[in-house]
């Protein structure tokens, strides 16, 4: 980097956690793009391994079966915020991992310690190899995956706001049903024994209920720039 035209800036690792529907993905991608950082959607990795298990006949109601298969899938995440990719055994699964079938099973699969250990290892490796830094979004990044991240942000929003956003993303899904599903997912992710969804003690909490995406992005970018300046 030193002999390039661009001035060198300190690499920065940003952890953005929070439940579904708070704007994590949109915010994380926009922040990464604006600041020239890599981007990682850790939820997509858990969806990818869930998709692989479903498609390979693994009984996802059996934690022992899930654990024994945890290391078999070859998951590769692209970290370009403009075009984040994910493949399993060389197959593009960016579409298939968003199906209702995968969504309904991902909490059970991701609760298995062997799965979390495998995916956490992938996540730490990607963060360590990001030359300029990275924005990593998920549910346990600030608490478990990258506890030494330069900046930790925890996004929240009211259940109503989250349901409205998610049902909009799902093209006309019933808002009440979506709200119920989100709260069920929250309960599953917050009460699992291994790396539950939780706010890190040193995370900055941002309530996105009444904010536009641009306002949230500006808030996080300002926080990142402050951390960079202090390095």
Identify the pLDDT of residue 5.
45
Identify the pLDDT of residue 181.
84
21: left (phi over 0), alpha (psi -120 to 50) or beta: left
Residue-wise pLDDT tens for the chain (231 aa)?
A: 344 445 577 899 999 999 988 999 999 999 999 999 999 999 999 999 999 999 999 999 999 999 999 999 999 999 999 999 999 999 999 999 999 899 999 999 999 999 999 999 999 999 999 999 999 999 999 999 999 999 999 999 998 898 888 777 666 678 788 888 888 888 888 888 888 888 999 999 999 999 999 999 999 999 999 998 887
**Whether this model's pTM surpasses 0.75:** yes
Identify the pLDDT of residue 193.
86
Identify the pLDDT of residue 173.
72
Identify the pLDDT of residue 171.
65
Identify the pLDDT of residue 164.
85
Identify the pLDDT of residue 58.
98
Closest by Cα among 75, 82, 74, 65 to 30: 82
* Separation CA 205–CA 200 (nearest Å): 10
Express the helix, strand and coil content of the chain in percent, nearest 5 each.
Answer: 50, 15, 35
Domains and CATH numbers, the chain: 12-223 (3.40.50.300)
Identify the pLDDT of residue 10.
82
Structure tokens at 80: 């370009």
Bridge partners for 14 per DSSP: 135, 151
């Amino acid at each position: 980097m030193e002999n390039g035209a661009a001035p060198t800036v300190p690499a920065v690792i940003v952890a953005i956690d929070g439940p579904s529907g708070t704007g994590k993905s949109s915010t994380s991608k926009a922040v990464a793009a604006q600041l020239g950082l890599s981007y990682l959607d850790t939820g997509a990795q858990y969806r990818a391994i869930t998709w692989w298990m479903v498609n390979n006949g693994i009984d996802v109601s059996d934690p022992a079966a899930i654990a024994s298969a945890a290391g078999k899938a070859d998951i590769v995440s692209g970290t370009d915020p403009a075009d984040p990719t994910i493949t399993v055994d060389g197959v593009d699964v960016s579409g298939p991992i968003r199906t209702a079938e995968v969504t309904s099973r991902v909490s059970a699969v991701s609760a298995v310690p062997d799965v979390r250990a495998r995916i956490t290892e992938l996540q730490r490796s990607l963060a360590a190899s990001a030359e300029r830094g990275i924005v990593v979004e998920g549910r346990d990044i600030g608490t478990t995956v990258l506890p030494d991240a330069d900046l930790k942000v925890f996004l929240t929003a009211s259940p109503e706001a989250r349901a409205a956003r998610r049902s909009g993303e799902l093209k006309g899904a019933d808002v009440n049903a979506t709200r119920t599903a989100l709260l069920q997912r929250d309960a599953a992710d917050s009460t699992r024994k291994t790396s539950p969804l939780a706010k890190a003690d040193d995370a900055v909490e941002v309530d996105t209920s009444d904010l536009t995406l641009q306002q949230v992005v500006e808030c996080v970018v300002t926080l990142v720039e402050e951390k960079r300046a202090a390095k």
